[in-house]
Structure 1
């Protein structure tokens, strides 16, 4: 009987390993940048074309490789980072698996140029799908240059699963930012389709954060510093008033390695308890230094998750250090009241004696006398300023009273007295008022609106109903191109990260059709001079943040799907929230607007907007 189990060929094994290592162009960027950092480079360039589908190139001035190493680095499980199994628990480098270059070479065209400082000539190698095409000697500068072209050229199914260029580019930018933020002492440069996106000179951590996330980031940062036997913490957290809806600016670094940790994120959210609005996320850039033997990095294929020996102690230290920093910089509320300088004693009165108040008593005052004497409230000192009223023409005040008095005195008896009668109606309300009471709407718990109908009553969810109304309005404005704008007296300046600016540029045409007018779009800010009619100036920042958060996983390539996503996001941001008190006019307007929609029964997110209860259903509730 023939054997069933066979050893896989090297090129097949490399393609299978590439499924774990290389998921998209951003995975190639991560591996090449980390190799450049491990090579002790001080200047690293990243060149991208077509969001990494056509080209991903990393050029560094590191130590380079010899002729033997340049050929051996493309073999599976070949690495210079570890020698023994115990080295896995004392890692101070990035890449150590030894599968990255082999996996990348299996699914792309790779061209590598490398040279060591002490060598006169370097090595130029070309590989296509794990096959060595050429290897020759070349005159090269010190360092290494990796060019990965035509990613997934031999696996078209994987290439079809890639997202649009905007989405893939954003993933590349994310990986670039993670490496650049972890190593502020290295000069990083990034080019996309021939244009420079980032130029980050060597600096400290704070300046590197500002260079990556625009100039307004500096005023948002609160420094944190803590050193213990377990962990050394340094970095920055964002002020609560600058919290956003999305989680874009949240970074953990452990021994200069970017990680993701829901447990540590919960520690930070616990430190911000009571300071953030609902649904908002703070920004943070936290660098943790722990002994390498207290962590296990080799628990996840992408090496972005780490296991700590004592997570509970790390949780408590991180939470307390952030709370301390927020309180130290007057971000968190404290128990001490602010001293009012207006209550301080002036310098002129420090040596003066207090003057006793004067008490004046009227000795002639007798409360039991039948006629109370007129009290003269004016002292002798103020009598000179008092002016008596003019009584020379006092007779004129009583002209006409004599005849009136005589008339009343001559009237001996009252013969007839008439009273005004009130008209008695048959109902407490007139017909118009009764009709208005029947058609009235009522709000329950600031969440539901109840309106009577012929068969019973209808109960609306005010937030979902308003979402449906706004959604159809925005979608009509975008598709029919009839949106109107309100001009702002003063243009509105908003600041965003470079990745968010790219998304706004992609959505600019659709946003203009909704009523936005963009005066300028810079690399880190935008200037808005006009808004849609139903959007206020204070809602613009919240609306755009919600829109960017909803579309961070990808913008639909279809124009209708893109317009639909924008309309849904704007409707969710601007809809009246649960807990908002509505007037009767607003309630009636919402009810009428909902039932004028094309699909009033469901919200834009396929949730019911109203329910009906008939009189029979109500009778069943009272049945015994």
Structure 2
């Protein structure tokens, strides 16, 4: 017999509703910080312990909550932001539903202390997993402090499936990056496990905030401001030279609200296409002012997703604004022009495929061993030409060396092939990149790096493994660390150890355009023969064979 239909209890209903709004520690911080911003705060301090699972506090110097209304504020659908249904369609505040405090209250132990500026005393109220505990008068500075403890301890199923402390910290830092770039007039401070990790001045300088987050100085950015009758866009863009391998540094807000909208991001990327390489993404932080009546923020429980009326007009405005500023400040990337007299080949694979039918050119397959090769010479300081028993072999010197180094770094079995490059330098990569490196510090140690987190939040590098045989110049450690951090941020199947090894191998490998002596070339070929596969770590072929049978046929023999 099927179960009978019955109305859920108030407690279960509250937990279900809370689960839609509060998914993880960063959801708590987002809701509380947005309330602080709506209260006209100019200083907001966030503190967490154990990734926010054990403890979260958000303190501000805003307007405070009236003593008579503070208990009501923790009830569901109690809000000061809207009064009638028309207000829902012209939301001007970050919060408006009256769900956040109630949701947080349902899944944690909460304590709130608040004082209005014109009041002598503060009010303190306490709850434990939705149950009212105490209401009392206390002394405190004006503003509001909210303390959240033991998040999701009454929901073991939710708690079980949350990410690690490191992952939650990273998400919290990401949110602080976004909100501080959007509200430059507010000083934000983040304290993690008793140590300050992040602070902005609140002096309206988006450049200084960008420098704090990404460690890029003023000349790395382009200021953007455009407006028309309906829209206004304001912010900064990175110079196309300062681009990365993922979209994590692209921040867009609508009327001060950080949003996720794939159409907007796609439009921004299209604006940059003439200036950057494929699969590279800029740093960008822009706020777009649009009439409140043409944007719907009541789409998603966490208010990240928004919908627009006349979206095409908005996207056209964004594309035109960014394209205009880039065209005025940056020369487009040069692209080879094909002529009638000759074809300019983009890479050597194009050349081989154009001149030979399929089957005549062969990239060596997985686990296929190289035969004994006789060194012939070097072409364009890019390819090593060799004679084999069944054809001519072309070796991409960079790809081959990259494969050799990757396997050596991974296995650490050939220590004599490396020297330790002594650095003894401090590096500040910006908050996001610093933390991504620090999260994986043990993997660096396993690979032979002498690297540690600095008490000030940056990175100290003393020594790194270094391949000296081919006279490579790999002293730009800042660039190397930034690339590793960017790679670690991407969702991919490689382990952190493999990601670090790939980047270090690429950074150390002999470059295209670098002349090799005959002995250096022979040494590289011998080392390549001992690798597991003749590909570089990214899957590109390191060796291509042109069969003698094909050559005989082409020459009519």
For the aligned pair, the TM-score class normalised by the smaller chain equals 0.7 to 0.9
Say if 1:515 and 1:533, in contact at 8 Å, map to a contact too.
no
1:199 maps to 199
Structure 1 position 544, deviation (Å): 2.0
1:471 maps onto 2:402 in alignment:
no
Relative distance call for 1:608 and 1:64 in structure 2 (3 A) is: same
Structure 1 position 255, deviation (Å): 0.5
2:554 maps to none
1:28 maps onto 2:32 in alignment:
no
**What secondary structure, in the 3-state scheme, does the structure 1 residue paired with 2:406 have?**
helix
1:225 maps to 225
Residues 546-565 of structure 1 mapped to structure 2, 5 A cutoff = 546-552=483-489, 562-565=496-499
Residues 414-425 of structure 1 mapped to structure 2, 5 A cutoff = none
Distance 1:58 1:322 in 2: 36
1:145 maps to 145
Relative distance call for 1:456 and 1:536 in structure 2 (3 A) is: closer
Relative distance call for 1:30 and 1:577 in structure 2 (3 A) is: farther
1:537 maps onto 2:470 in alignment:
no
Q: Tell me whether 303-312 or 231-240 shows the greater mean CA deviation.
A: 303-312
Structure 1 position 147, deviation (Å): 0.6
What 5-or-longer segments of structure 2 have no aligned partner?
335-370, 552-557
Structure 1 position 243, deviation (Å): 2.2
Which whole-Å deviations, capped at 9, do the CAs of 1:369-418 have from their partners, x for residues lacking one? xxxxxxxxxxxxxxxxxxxxxxxxxxxxxxxxxxxxxxxxxxxxxxxxxx
2:533 maps to 600
Say if 2:429 and 2:478, in contact at 8 Å, map to a contact too.
no
Relative distance call for 1:444 and 1:12 in structure 2 (3 A) is: farther
1:58 maps onto 2:58 in alignment:
yes
Which whole-Å deviations, capped at 9, do the CAs of 1:260-282 have from their partners, x for residues lacking one? 23322233333323322444322
Say if 2:211 and 2:430, in contact at 8 Å, map to a contact too.
no
Structure 1 position 163, deviation (Å): 2.9
Which whole-Å deviations, capped at 9, do the CAs of 1:320-353 have from their partners, x for residues lacking one? 322333344x433699xxxxxxxxxxxxxxxxxx
Q: Which residue of 431, 434, 439 corresponds with 1:501?
A: 434
Structure 1 position 449, deviation (Å): 9.0
Relative distance call for 1:448 and 1:218 in structure 2 (3 A) is: closer
Structure 1 position 216, deviation (Å): 4.3
Say if 1:456 and 1:614, in contact at 8 Å, map to a contact too.
yes
Structure 1 position 33, deviation (Å): 0.2
Which whole-Å deviations, capped at 9, do the CAs of 1:148-178 have from their partners, x for residues lacking one? 1111112233323333333211211111222
Say if 1:187 and 1:202, in contact at 8 Å, map to a contact too.
yes
1:77 maps to 77
1:486 maps onto 2:433 in alignment:
no
Residues 76-155 of structure 1 mapped to structure 2, 5 A cutoff = 76-155=76-155
Say if 1:543 and 1:574, in contact at 8 Å, map to a contact too.
no
1:178 maps onto 2:113 in alignment:
no
Structure 1 position 34, deviation (Å): 0.3
Distance 1:465 1:316 in 2: 45
Which whole-Å deviations, capped at 9, do the CAs of 1:82-120 have from their partners, x for residues lacking one? 233332221111112322222222221111122333444
Relative distance call for 1:437 and 1:519 in structure 2 (3 A) is: closer
**What secondary structure, in the 3-state scheme, does the structure 1 residue paired with 2:282 have?**
coil
Structure 1 position 72, deviation (Å): 2.2
Structure 1 position 565, deviation (Å): 4.2
Distance 2:302 2:513 in 1: 44
Structure 1 position 239, deviation (Å): 1.3
**What secondary structure, in the 3-state scheme, does the structure 2 residue paired with 1:82 have?**
coil
1:332 maps to 331
Say if 2:224 and 2:235, in contact at 8 Å, map to a contact too.
yes
Structure 1 position 77, deviation (Å): 2.6
When the two chains are superposed, the root-mean-square deviation of aligned CA atoms in Å is 4.3
Say if 2:46 and 2:190, in contact at 8 Å, map to a contact too.
yes
Relative distance call for 1:124 and 1:107 in structure 2 (3 A) is: same
Structure 1 position 304, deviation (Å): 1.7
**What secondary structure, in the 3-state scheme, does the structure 2 residue paired with 1:73 have?**
helix
Structure 1 position 543, deviation (Å): 3.0
Distance 1:574 1:27 in 2: 41
**What secondary structure, in the 3-state scheme, does the structure 1 residue paired with 2:281 have?**
coil
Distance 2:504 2:20 in 1: 37
Distance 1:438 1:216 in 2: 47
Distance 2:68 2:550 in 1: 84
Distance 2:320 2:222 in 1: 14
Structure 1 position 467, deviation (Å): 5.0
Residues 385-396 of structure 1 mapped to structure 2, 5 A cutoff = none
Distance 2:15 2:397 in 1: 54
Say if 1:296 and 1:306, in contact at 8 Å, map to a contact too.
yes
Distance 1:543 1:108 in 2: 42
What 5-or-longer segments of structure 1 have no aligned partner?
336-435, 619-624
Distance 2:278 2:409 in 1: 25
**What secondary structure, in the 3-state scheme, does the structure 1 residue paired with 2:217 have?**
helix
Instruction: Select the structure of larger CA radius of gyration.
Output: 1
**What secondary structure, in the 3-state scheme, does the structure 2 residue paired with 1:222 have?**
strand
TM-score (norm 1): 0.69
Which whole-Å deviations, capped at 9, do the CAs of 1:279-328 have from their partners, x for residues lacking one? 43221111111110111112233222222223333223223322333344
Relative distance call for 1:217 and 1:607 in structure 2 (3 A) is: closer
Distance 2:450 2:116 in 1: 54
2:255 maps to 255
Q: Tell me whether 447-456 or 35-44 shows the greater mean CA deviation.
A: 447-456
Structure 1 position 553, deviation (Å): 6.1
1:315 maps to 315
2:39 maps to 39
Say if 2:188 and 2:200, in contact at 8 Å, map to a contact too.
yes
